[in-house]
Amino acid sequence: MPKKSRQFVLEPQAIEYLEKYWIPYPAHGFARSAKEAAEIADMIGFPVVLKVVSPDVPHKTDVGGVSLGLNDPDEVQAGYKSLIARVTKAAPGVDVKGILVCRQAEEGLEVIVGALDDDVFGPTVMFGLGGIFTEVLKDVSFRIVPLKPIDAEEMIQEISGFPVLSGIRGQSRRDINGLVDLIVSVSNLVGNEPDIKELDLNPVRIYEEGVLTLDVRIARRT
């Protein structure tokens, strides 16, 4: 039996935190069977993404716990069964609570917004562009909670990759105001919820109009 990761909030409950603070997340539902997953997908609209929900799987992609681009109820039912099979094969004994069914988002520029309750500074928010900008270049900015909109604007503008957001070389300018609102909402969330130790929104897609959180990971204090 794998070691439990009880400090991590299951994603359906993590999404409830986002909804409380008006942080955008795709239309979704929680399914405990292939038939229920297909019904949810039919209700929220295709294509959909399936994501495993388990206290033993904080990193879903490590065990094949995500299925993308399912376009009809039959594909969803088959995808549900194959996802469960992959996960239980990759992590024998894993406690699978069910599957999160999410409306698949349109492609867009990806950013990361995170937060950590630092032992010295207290709740602190991090922002950066996704992919190589964060993983290799470490192009991120930080601020101590609470944040005002001007603080979020400064965070966005001070990273080296800011021209990617502002519309470099004929590219579309992204919804920076929407991103500011999201960062301030994250500040409010971690500032008002003292049980939260860590929060990771990765990725967040930012469009010409609007932003959308595609995955959320929250850890409570143990």
Domain range annotation of the chain:
27-103, 109-220
pTM, 2 dp = 0.92
Long-range CB contacts (within 8 A, 24+) of 88-95: 90/62, 90/63, 90/64, 91/2, 91/56, 91/57, 91/63, 93/1, 93/2, 94/2, 94/54, 94/56, 94/57, 94/63, 95/4, 95/54, 95/55, 95/56
Q: What superfamily would CATH give domain 27-103?
A: ATP-grasp fold, A domain (3.30.1490.20)
Q: pLDDT 10s digit of each residue in the chain, 222 long?
A: 344 434 889 999 999 999 999 999 999 999 999 999 999 999 999 999 999 999 998 889 999 999 999 999 999 999 999 999 999 999 999 999 999 999 999 999 999 999 999 989 999 999 999 876 677 678 899 999 999 999 999 999 999 999 999 987 777 899 999 999 999 999 999 999 999 999 999 999 999 999 999 999 999 987
User: In the CATH scheme, what is the code of domain 109-220?
Assistant: 3.30.470.20
